[in-house]
Amino acid sequence: QQLKPEQTPERGMWSSRFGFLMAAVGSAVGLGNLWKFPYLAGENGGGAFVLVYVGLVVILGFTLMLAELSIGRHTNSDAYGAYSKLKKGWGFVGGFGILAGFLILSYYSVVGGWVLKYIVASVTGVGADKGAYFTNFITSSVEPVIYHLIFMGLTAIIVIRGISGGIEKAVKIVMPALFIMLMVIVLRSVTLEGASEGLKYYLTPNFSEITLKVFIAALGQVFFSLSLGMGCMVTYGSYLSKQEDLEKDALLIPSLDSLVAIMAGFAILPAVFAFGFAPGEGPGLMFITLPAVFESMPLGTVFSLIFFILVFFAAISSSISLMEVTVAFGIDRLKWSRKVSVLVFTTVMFIIGIGASLSMGAWSDFLIPWIDGNSYGIFDFLDVVTSYYLLPLGGLLSAIFIGFVWGVPNAVKEIKTGGNFRTEKLWSVLIKYIVPILVFVILLSTTGLLDR
């Protein structure tokens, strides 16, 4: 295999600025937007959740995206190395992130497997009872694990081949296609009889529903959806050239990601009401609702097939980034080859994922106690610990790191190598004071310790 001059054999480099953007958008847009956002909105008061979510994206999304990209590009190393290079003893911040990415991918791959199953089910049909079909599938012991294996295996193969190349090309086609597909589904969904109820639920925030719980859910989702708080954007930024305009990227990536999430909500929630499903259904919401929508469309089978294939590509471009964080650590710190690094981590994540999958059925009685006073099955445990604790903690620490350890002026200098930095003053205040305080307060209330 020929290497471009700027590449080191194991690390790699983006082939172009566009390639990076595609990969970063590919990382951000994934199951978080299509699968998680709509069901979280459904569980948390609809419009109330959307409002809080958008507010938090505006404040945190841009600020922390820019923070991570600047740390990554400045240090040129994996998440752990980046922090420890800038300040001895701070590698643990990256370490938390690597752990988070590792745990997320373990269950993300299980949901990726559900998507694969629904590609097949688009053709074979899901029968009259959409809920029963989904529940039967995820609670069975063997089939979901096989799909999980396939999803994890495909992720591993792509990551072994290195970061540039395939991902960029795929994302370039998948993202616009996904967008058009979502438009089509939104049009069908909002014109269903009884959809207006759902539209109202989704768009009008009921202020009495804006509780602390909504803030907690929205905060976790902001981190998860934007791939923040775990060094993913540090790692991706480390492959960037000094000419890159980081400020522009930090505005563009969260905007596109939020657009897709909000569209997914428009595609799903009106239909939920039109067909009489429950908005608080949870993780099954997309898988139960969309087949009903497709059934009500001409050429529904074709639309369903194309849609789930696109969701699969969106999911895999995210899972690749999750794996890359861990693998970059293996390469840079443990001095493993890319191949060994991928194989070792994939195996462990696959095994943890088996537990996550079984916790939907056979192992549903196996509960893990957590510091918030609740006990969770393996799948939920991985989700709760990462989205509501590790990612916000990672984001909090990265803000503190820039504000008080590396120093805002140093970060600003790094950002400015790519062009002027129009929001310098605003960003400086956000990263040093507003973001850490906001995240800290929500994180503290997440623990439930304040209520006791």
**Residue 235 contacts ligand PHE per CB under 6 A:** no
| 71/104 with CB nearer ligand PHE | 104
**Residue 387 contacts ligand PHE per CB under 6 A:** no
Binding string, residues 58-97; x marks residues near ligand PHE by CB under 6 A = ----------------------------------------
Cα distance from N-terminal residue to C-terminal residue, the chain: 60
Please, what is the minimum distance in Å from the beta carbon of residue 171 to Na ion? 13
Q: Pick what 115 binds: Na ion, ligand PHE, none; C-beta below 5 to 8 Å, kind-dependent.
A: none
Task: Identify the residue among 40, 41, 79, 104 touching ligand PHE (CB under 6 A).
Answer: 104
| 44/341 with CB nearer Na ion | 44
**Backbone φ/ψ region at 231: left (φ over 0), alpha (ψ -120 to 50), beta:** left
Chain positions contacting Na ion, by CB under 5 A: 28, 32-33, 225, 257
Q: Pick what 230 binds: ligand PHE, Na ion, none; C-beta below 5 to 8 Å, kind-dependent.
A: ligand PHE
Q: Pick what 27 binds: ligand PHE, Na ion, none; C-beta below 5 to 8 Å, kind-dependent.
A: ligand PHE
**Residue 106 contacts ligand PHE per CB under 6 A:** no
Task: Identify the residue among 98, 152, 264, 322 touching ligand PHE (CB under 6 A).
Answer: 322
**Residue 230 contacts ligand PHE per CB under 6 A:** yes
Q: Which stretch binds ligand PHE (CB under 6 A): 89-97, 171-179, 220-228, 410-418?
A: 220-228
CA dist., res. 134 & res. 178, Å (int)? 23
Other C-beta atoms lying within 10 Å of the C-beta of residue 153 = 13
**Residue 57 contacts ligand PHE per CB under 6 A:** no
Task: Look up residue 446 and give its two tokens.
Answer: 């997440």
| 144/229 with CB nearer ligand PHE | 229
**Residue 224 contacts ligand PHE per CB under 6 A:** yes
Task: Look up residue 26 and give its two tokens.
Answer: 């590919």
Please, what is the minimum distance in Å from the beta carbon of residue 324 to ligand PHE? 9
Task: Identify the residue among 25, 27, 52, 215 touching ligand PHE (CB under 6 A).
Answer: 27
Q: Pick what 238 binds: Na ion, ligand PHE, none; C-beta below 5 to 8 Å, kind-dependent.
A: none
Q: Which stretch binds ligand PHE (CB under 6 A): 221-229, 265-273, 331-339, 425-433?
A: 221-229
Task: Identify the residue among 44, 63, 122, 318 touching ligand PHE (CB under 6 A).
Answer: 318
Residue nearest to ligand PHE (CB): 32
Burial of 129 (0-12, 13-18, 19+ CB in 10 A): exposed
**Residue 321 contacts ligand PHE per CB under 6 A:** yes
Question: Contacts with ligand PHE: how many residues (CB under 6 A)?
Answer: 16
Binding string, residues 28-47; x marks residues near ligand PHE by CB under 6 A = x-xxxx--------------
CA dist., res. 228 & res. 368, Å (int)? 26
Which of 294-325 are b and which e, b meaning 16 or more Cβ less than 10 Å from the residue's Cβ?
bebbeebeebbbbbbbbbbbbbbbbbbbbbbb
**Residue 227 contacts ligand PHE per CB under 6 A:** yes
CA dist., res. 278 & res. 43, Å (int)? 9
Residue ranges that bind ligand PHE, judged by CB under 6 A = 27-28, 30-33, 101, 104, 224-225, 227, 230, 232, 318, 321-322
